Amino acid sequence: MSPAIALAFLPLVVTLLVRYRHHFRLLVRTVLLRSFRDCLSGLQIEERAFSYVLTHALPGDPGHILTTLDHWSSCCEYLSHMGPVKGQILMRLVEEKAPACVLELGTYCGYSTLLIARTLPPGSRLLTVERDPRTAAVAEKLIRLAGFDEQMVELIAGSSEEVIPRLRAQHQLNRADLVLLAHRPRYYLRDLQLLEAHALLPNGATVLADHVLFPGAPRFLQYTKSCGRYRCRLHHTSLPDFPAIKDGIAQLTYAGPG
């Protein structure tokens, strides 16, 4: 490319960098720096975060563990977790609905799992599903460190596509009063339809879906708004530590198969 052509594109490049500077910073923190530290330490970010929690958080205190993870994500390495703002929305809805059984798809490091577990009424049960076995092992340790036993919080390692059809037979889950979709947005629609097909959603069940605006789940939102089986509400938020990057949590109320 000649210098003249390069100079012609320079204003466009500068404009894009300025307009999407927050996204560029997010890319650097979540991809470039994370990959470098993974190679340097031989550990995944979730494992490094758990090591930090072990030395800085109080065992048996889920609130302090959550605060420690927030501090790690803000000051050390960006964790791509739910964060305190979305966490308040989640805890308020769990407290309001008081579900007897919760299903979480996408345990990740266990952050949202602790938010749900600490808010559940006595006798309730939480099943959480994580696809990556190494990440699931970290989350399991974090959940137990917070003081929740397997009777209250059961972690299932496996893909949601494989786990959902066997929830009733293998994990005695007959109905999920509240479902949190927090794995990969491109799988939200597939997994919601699996839950419907296996009759795991009772009338009035609440389905919460994170990251529906960024990176986004347009097919999922279109389906839930057009199929006639859900009442929909969108809670507008942003990414933790990136207030300029807008996101949202979809709150769905299941009205039955119709």
Q: pLDDT, tens digit, for every residue of 178-237? A: 999 999 999 999 999 999 999 999 999 999 999 999 999 999 999 999 999 999 999 999
Range(s) for CATH 3.40.50.150 in the chain?
84-254
- We find that the CATH architecture of domain 84-254 is 3-Layer(aba) Sandwich (3.40)
Q: Mean pLDDT across the stretch 126-149?
A: 98
- What percentage of the chain exceeds 70 in pLDDT? 93
Q: Is the dihedral of CA 170, 171, 175, 178 positive or negative?
A: negative
Inform me whether the pLDDT recorded for 258 exceeds 80: no
Long-range contacts of 166-173 (CB under 8 A, 24+ apart): 167/103, 167/127, 167/198, 167/200, 168/198, 168/200, 171/127, 173/101, 173/103, 173/127, 173/200
Single out the residue of 81, 80, 75, 74 nearest to residue 241, CA to CA. 74
Q: Mean pLDDT across the stretch 10-37?
A: 81
Q: Say what the pTM is.
A: 0.93
pLDDT band at 93 (very low <50, low <70, confident <90, very high): very high
Inform me whether the pLDDT recorded for 50 exceeds 70: yes
**Containing H/E element for 83?**
helix 83-97
How many other CB atoms are there within 10 angstroms of residue 175's CB atom?
Answer: 16
pLDDT of residue 3: 67
pLDDT of residue 23: 87
The mean of the pLDDT values for the chain is: 94
Inform me whether the pLDDT recorded for 1 exceeds 60: no
pLDDT of residue 5: 62
